[in-house]
Structure 1
Amino acid sequence: MAYGKLMVILTCAGCCAIDGAQAAPVPTAMDMRRVFTPQPLPDPPNRYNSGSGLPGPDYWQNRADYVIHAHIDTPTHALSGEETLIYTNNSPDSLDTLWLQLDQNIYRPHSRAGFANPERHPNTTDGMEIDSVAIVHHGHETPLRPRISDTRMQLALPGAPLSHGQKVQIRIRWHYIIPGPWGGRTAVTPARDGEIYEIAQWYPRMCVYDSHRGWDTLPYLGQEFYLEYGNFDYSVTVPWNFTVVGSGALLNPAQVLTRTERARLAQAARSDRTVMIRTEHDVTDPTSHVARMGEKTWRFYMENTRDVSFAASPTFLWDAARIDLPPVRPAPGMKPVPRLAMSVYPREGIGPQAWDRSTEYVRHAIEYFSRQWFSYPWPNAINVGGHGAGMEYPGIVFDGWEDRNDTLFWITTHELGHGWFPMIVGSNERRDAFMDEGFNTFIDAYASQHFNHGEYAPKHDAEFAPLTGRPADDIIPVLKDPQAPTLMTPAELVPEKYRHPVTYFKSAYGLVLLREQILGPERFDTAFRRYIQAWAYHHPTPSDFFRLMESEAGEDLGWFWRGWYFENDWPDYALSRLSYINNDARQGTQVSIKAKGRLMLPVTLRLAYSDGTHADQVIPPESWHLADNITVAFPGGPTVDRAILDPEHVLPDPDRSDNIRLMKSR
């Protein structure tokens, strides 16, 4: 069902009927002052974050570069690794300690996450065992004694603190047991032809040190991340019959791929159609590998990223097609190469409306988001058919081999959309989830409209059944629920009951309202692209987003930020009077409107004439600055049949019974 030419359809996921809904008090004219009073933002502008929402003249950001060697022992499901981390302090502060994240400690029996979210990790392990930590200076290692607290590790630096512009090199050796098929965040899952390893959050990762809090060391409770950017050179050693795909570019194809596989990849780089790199026959044919015993080491490289992940399995079929974007340099000193969309999956995923189409979906997502918002920066984009976590990492996403039809399209597009939010625009997912899941849900709803003339439009979220399919109605139970959190609620404080309705749907629908009803696509798109470009590979806050959208779009939006983000307000308009001026249709018609809600979205007033024509007038938010009642006059014309507020049903008005008024003279 369309909502006019510009309205994208976005269906609420999990917006079930919520108990406790209640009506808000009807505002008075005096209340309008509160509605339009300037909204204070959490972070005041300064030299680091400017009043325009752009990075300030003294904006700084620390950096973390990694060289990692990992090994998977398949009989024990153990991953061991050695990491050399080069950390650069670009802050004006001197640092005497470093903090790192040890996400695998979430699986320890008495982890904080086990109490906060016990349903998220049913398997337990000993977590990440740190074998050694040392500072490396001129090739010599000085051991450090780590202080580990739940999912964090603190390293006290010996000697002088790390001052502005200095680097420190840390070497860490660790191992852990991969904790079974949970959530795709380091999982091992049995399939018909072997096990699938989806390896993520698998190495000690630097915490962010920023100008807002210093070290941001929230414990990992199972939600999302906040990470520094840098370059990654990493290698993975696995059994001879494994295929490995990972974030970034494969640097040693001649050592791990057969001549046939390399030729097929070259063909895929020239093809708009999917090319099989490893076929169903190859999965069970030992001669399809470069070696038939021992182990192979696969080496990858990725520039300017906040993370890397990989998948490894003997079960993988592998296909690819070119991405229609300019070639990209895979590593320093190498020539630019074509970009590839790829998919790997077990035989269970084969099907004409299943994983046979995955790479088609990958290719569309990367090309569409690149042309609409910001160009994809990395060599490859990979969809993994595994446990079915629906989880994103830079350049690679983990989905389910059982996904089919529209579900596979939606989950693929959504997870790849995270390449923009928060992989390119590096917001703090641990605290501001709406800037991650909500922004991404917004862009992938439009991608659903765009793909193959709307083959899978409108977008529904695969985990939940839709309600009416009309977002203006589906959001109302959330807005009116007194227990529902606001979008500005810290991510870890949003109950699971509300996570999808609020963090995903309300955030995305808010951007739809901003684009379609408040700013219009041209102003919104220009401002939103500027936001992405300005904060690519940086760390914006909600205040930066709010300020930049206002500055670039040329609109004071404080009333909208307050009502939609800081509160759960809604619009509610009522027609209170419809009459001719001096009882003469030739002199014109006047319509009186009352505001009963606290969110003053622009609303269309339509005058429907008896001859079938109509006249529309958009009532802007400023109409309600000092009054809760206004009267709109239309010039004389045909006799009037009725007046209608919001005739296209685009606003979340919970009481539409007073949105239509008939002319009494009929």
Structure 2
Amino acid sequence: MKHSILLLLVGFVSANSFAQSVEQSVYNPKELFAQNFFTKNGNEFRSSNGAPGPQYWQNKADYNIKAAIDTVSNILTAAETIYYTNNGPDSLPSLWLEIDQNTYKEDARSNFYTTGRRVNKMHTNGYEFKSISTGYKGKTSTADYIITDTRLQLRLANALPPKQSITINISYQYTIPGAFGGRTDYYATRNGKVYEIAQWYPRMCVYDDLNGWANLPFLGSGEFYCEYGDFDYTVTVPQGMIVAGSGELLNEKEVLSPAQIKRLNDARASNETVMIRTQDEVNNDAQKTFSNKTLTWHFKMNNTRDVAFGVSKAYMWDAAKVNLPDSKKCLAMSVYPVESAGNDAWGRATEYLKKSIEYFSEKWFVYPYPVAINEAGVAGGMEYPGIVFDGWRDKSDELYWVTAHEIGHNWFPMIVGSDERRYAWMDEGFNTFIDVYAADDFNKGEYAPKRDGEYAPKKGNPADEIVPLLKDSLAPSMMSRADMLTEKYRHPLVYFKPAFGLVLLREVILGHDRFDYAFKKYTERWAYKHPSPDDFFRTMNNEAGEDLSWFWKEWFVHNWQLDIAVADVSNKTEEGANAATIVINNLQKMAMPCTVELTLKDGSKQLVQLPVETWLQSAKFILRVKTSQPVQSVIVDPKHELPDSNRNNNVWKAS
């Protein structure tokens, strides 16, 4: 069939020219296109174009941690030193730390913030502190501190001035929760326990120019907001166990066999997965009796906001080279129990990890760390810098999707360090968005389109699948605090809606070139920094060259509907030529650019692209188009790209 893009010949025509019945519209252009969307001007910290300002600052937290795990009592013991630098303009009379293990205490706030509290829920005693001290200008003092749920406040004898550093020394232990831990846990396999260790050390809260201390309690749904720094940590465990940790292993010769070291070196040069510890070796080692000797594994990771690790003697282990832009390399590897082995399961985990990193690095920002790890456990889908915890039972498409999604979090929010506890959509939504295109790219779309049931609908067109959410008058805004969203709305609003909103921006509103340029600028500008929603909105507006305030308002701030209808079509002959007059109404509060498709008497088609400015003044638009034949049908949004809540009124056909 013939397709052509037509220029708009005549814009607005008096509605009196047409006899028609017009459906009642709730659309108000004065509301949607009202100016002053941004409530604050740019300043020296955050520029009006969305970039960090010339005086942008953030504090720094470096960590030195020596940890040990008693695998009989399941207790982690550690000595931690934090080197905290106040780079901001304010003196700090107190310092706040996050102590997430307290969320497992029986009286934790996280047990009460949702309805239907489980009285039989399992608990631990949380952190048990042995000593806390501070060091400033060569003087060490016993710390004056209070604990409030999952926060610890250090009250300083003298405020920490700008451009000064303080040392915090903490000695502590806690009981590692079992599978009920959710994000940090241990579970049993036929060859021994597997430990997933995360949120395992007291860490500094962020102090920024937006809210001061970001010290909301950890309730579980809202995740993390962390300062960047350098980590040097050791983990001491019984001989025979493997530790897979964030960052680079510094003492391979002390903890690995010569055969394992050789295989690792082979993997660093191989695009194919290389076994480091085979299934037979795991099974054979399970029969051995090791001495009471322990080994200490030493890791380092720079310019990161967190670290985590897995521990087990039951791990199979494989690895492969990751090819990054500009001839850079890193290592992808997976650790998993023999129950997870098989090419339809974790035998391809490293392949999934490698390909995801390569795609995200080429498309958006180069992966910055020397190693990336996929660890199999019961956390079942959790992300930390350089390591992800995925489900040990996951197979094929489920394992690919969760691997791509969790490692994608290394871009959002591990590299671009947004506040997950306030704006969950800035990490889950952005990450789900980049997953969509990664799935299309992987192995020529082997697992595409992305439909994992958790982050997007399992079937159907996303533009149609999101309509029930837009129609839900009780649905909250995406801008709501993360912990406010009930389970009914958490995935639709935190994952699906923001991701689909970015797809609309890329595919319908801006196009690939303008969107990709602006989105990459946002990623580059805010790498290893702390962006706010306004910083994202402003960057996209400025770098895409489009005032998208209307879109941010209707899609992110509100949960409005879209309903574009073909109200009337008439064919006329003017000056010997065919002409169609089409009346299009916008019936709901949202506006979008749209495509109008005309099918002519001979079956050929003509397209008219209506920009969003079509709706700048009125809920009604009257379009006149010259045609070579009389119009037989008209359809708005023929490809179903838009989340139109009533497609029945999108079509007109000649009687």
| Same structural fold, with TM-score higher than 0.5 when normalized by the shorter chain | yes
2:356 aligned with 1:365: yes
Letter of the structure 1 residue corresponding to residue 473 of structure 2:
P
Residue aligning to 2:5: none
Whole-Å separation in 2 of the counterparts to 1:71 and 1:172: 14
Shift of 1:629: 1.1
Quick one: distance in 1 between partners of 2:120 and 2:67? 24
1:163 deviation in Å?
A: 1.0
Compared CA separation, residues 145 and 313, structure 1 to 2 (3 A)? same
Q: For the structure 1 residues 407 and 515, does the alpha-carbon distance in structure 2 shift closer, same or farther, using more than 3 Å as the test?
A: same
Aligned to 1:13: none
CA distance in structure 1 between the aligned counterparts of 2:94 and 2:429, rounded to whole angstroms:
34
AA at the equivalent of 1:35 = L
Q: Which residue matches 1:36?
A: 33
| Aligned counterpart in structure 2 of residue 542 of structure 1, from 529, 533, 536 | 533
Query: Conserved in 2, the CA contact under 8 Å of 1:240 and 1:289?
Result: no
Correspondence list, 1:611-626, <5 A: 611-626=602-617
Shift of 1:610: 2.5
1:167 to 153, 162, 165: 165
Asked whether 1:657 is paired with 2:648, we answer: yes
Q: In the alignment, what sits opposite 2:518? A: 527
Of 369, 375, 384, the match for 1:384: 375
Are positions 1:310 and 2:309 aligned together? Answer: yes
Superposed displacement of residue 293, structure 1: 4.3
Query: Residue type of the partner of 2:279?
Result: E
1:70 to 38, 44, 67: 67
Instruction: Say yes or no: does 1:156 pair with 2:155.
Output: yes
The structural deviation recorded for 1:182 is 2.7
Partner Cα distance (2:290, 2:369) in 1: 29
Change (3 A) 1:139 1:90: closer
Q: What is the Cα-based RMSD across aligned positions, in Å?
A: 2.1
Alignment partner, residue 208 of structure 2: 210
| Aligned residue type for 1:77 | N
Q: Which moved more, 1:36-45 or 1:625-634?
A: 36-45
Q: CA deviation at 1:284?
A: 3.0
1:562–1:464: structure 2 CA closer, same or farther, 3 Å change rule? closer
State the secondary structure of the residue aligned to 1:588.
Answer: strand
Q: Does 1:144 align with 2:148?
A: no
| CA distance in structure 2 between the aligned counterparts of 1:120 and 1:342, rounded to whole angstroms | 40
What is the distance in 1 between the residues matched to 2:198 and 2:513? 38
Deviation at 1:649, TM superposition (A): 0.7
Contact 2:450 2:456 in 1 (8 A): no
In structure 1, runs of 5+ residues without a counterpart are: 1-23, 329-336
Partner of 2:192: 194
Match of 1:570 among 552, 561, 577: 561
Unaligned stretches of 5+ in structure 2?
1-22
- Distance in 1 (CA, whole Å) between partners of 2:296 and 2:39 is 48
**Cα distance in 2 between the residues matched to 1:152 and 1:652:** 42
Aligned-pair CA distance for 1:580:
2.0
Cα deviation 1:565-603 (Å, max 9, x = unaligned): 111112211111211234788232221111102211111
The equivalent of 1:60 in structure 2 is 57
Query: Is 2:550 aligned against 1:559?
Result: yes
Amino acid at match of 1:56: G
Residue type at the aligned position of 1:62 = N
Q: Deviations over 1:415-469 (max 9, x none)?
A: 0000000000000000001101100000011111110111101111244894542
Q: Is the 8 A contact 2:239 2:291 kept in 1?
A: yes
**1:39-438 matched pairs, under 5 angstroms:** 40-41=37-38, 44-117=41-114, 118=117, 122-137=121-136, 141-158=140-157, 160-223=158-221, 224-286=223-285, 293-325=292-324, 338-438=329-429
Q: Structure 1 residues 503-512 or 455-464, which shifts more?
A: 455-464
For residues 439 and 512 of structure 2, the distance between their equivalents in structure 1, rounded to whole angstroms, comes to 17
Change (3 A) 1:465 1:373: closer
Contact 2:633–2:654 under 8 Å retained in 1: yes
Question: Are 1:410 and 1:462, in contact at CA under 8 Å, matched by a contact in 2?
Answer: no
Greater CA drift, 535-544 or 616-625: 616-625
1:170-221 Cα shifts (integer Å, max 9, x gaps): 1111100001013542201111100000000000010000011111110000
CA distance in 2, matches of 1:464, 1:144: 44
Aligned-partner Cα distance in 2 for 1:238–1:316: 14
- 1:164 offset after TM fit, Å? 1.1
Q: CA contact under 8 A between 2:324 and 2:362: conserved in structure 1? A: no
Task: Report the alpha carbon displacement of residue 138 of structure 1 after superposing the two structures with TM.
Answer: 6.9
Asked whether the equivalents of residues 68 and 236 of structure 2 are also in contact (C-alpha less than 8 Å), the reply is yes
Conserved in 2, the CA contact under 8 Å of 1:326 and 1:339?
no
User: Residue in 2 aligned with 1:637?
Assistant: 628
Q: Is the 8 A contact 1:184 1:390 kept in 2?
A: no
Mapped contact 2:325–2:362 kept (Cα < 8 A): no
- Cα deviation for residue 352 of structure 1 reads 1.5
Q: Give the drift of 1:122.
A: 3.4
- Select which of 451, 457, 464 maps to 2:442: 451
Task: Write the deviation string for residues 90-119 of structure 1: whole angstroms up to 9, x where unpaired.
Answer: 010011111000000001101100111456
| Inter-CA distance 338–628: structure 2 relative to 1 (3 Å threshold) | closer
- Determine the C-alpha separation between the residues in 2 that align with 1:111 and 1:181: 18
Asked whether the 8 Å contact 1:99–1:155 carries over to 2, the reply is yes
What amino acid does structure 2 have at the position aligned with 1:73? D
Shift, 1:389, TM fit: 2.5
Q: Deviations over 1:12-64 (max 9, x none)?
A: xxxxxxxxxxxx97225xx2111111253355422111110100111100000
C-alpha separation between the residues in 2 aligned to 1:657 and 1:243? 60
2:603 maps to amino acid: G
Aligned partners of 2:40 and 2:245: how far apart in 1?
Answer: 37
SS at match of 2:160: coil
In 2, Cα distance between equivalents of 1:289 and 1:338: 37
1:183/1:387 contact within 8 Å kept: no
Structure 1 residues 121 and 70, CA gap change in structure 2 (3 angstroms): farther
DSSP-derived class of the 2:259 partner:
helix
Q: State the AA in 2 paired with 1:71.
A: A
User: Is the 1:101–1:205 Cα contact (8 Å) retained in structure 2?
Assistant: yes
Give the Å deviation of 1:370. 0.3
TM-score, structure 2 as length reference: 0.93
Partner residue in 2 for 1:15: none
For 2:539 and 2:481, locate their aligned partners in 1 and report how far apart those are by CA, in whole Å.
21
Is 1:241–1:292's contact at 8 Å kept on the other side of the alignment? no
Deviation at 1:121, TM superposition (A): 10
Q: Distance in 1 between matches of 2:113 and 2:398?
A: 30
Aligned CA distance change for structure 1 residues 253 and 25 (closer, same or farther; 3 Å): farther
**How far is the alpha carbon of 1:281 from its aligned partner?**
1.5
Note if contact 1:183-1:389 (Cα within 8 Å) is conserved in structure 2: no
Count of matched residue positions in the alignment of Structure 1 and Structure 2 = 630
- TM-aligned CA distance change 1:615 to 1:56, over 3 Å: same
CA contact (8 A) 1:235 1:298 kept: yes
Residue 13 (structure 2) aligns with? none
In the alignment, which residue of structure 1 is the partner of 2:19? none
Q: Which residue of 1 aligns with 2:3?
A: none
Tell which deviates more after alignment, 279-288 or 298-307. 279-288
Aligned partners of 1:639, 1:563: CA distance in 2, in Å?
A: 37
Q: Is the CA contact 1:467–1:474 (under 8 Å) kept in the aligned structure 2?
A: no
Q: Is the 8 A contact 1:255 1:290 kept in 2?
A: no
In the aligned structure 2, how far is the partner of 1:582 from the partner of 1:360? Answer: 63
> Matched residues in 1 for 2:118 and 2:24: separation?
38
State which drifts further: 639-648 or 434-443. Answer: 639-648
Deviation at 1:623, TM superposition (A): 1.2
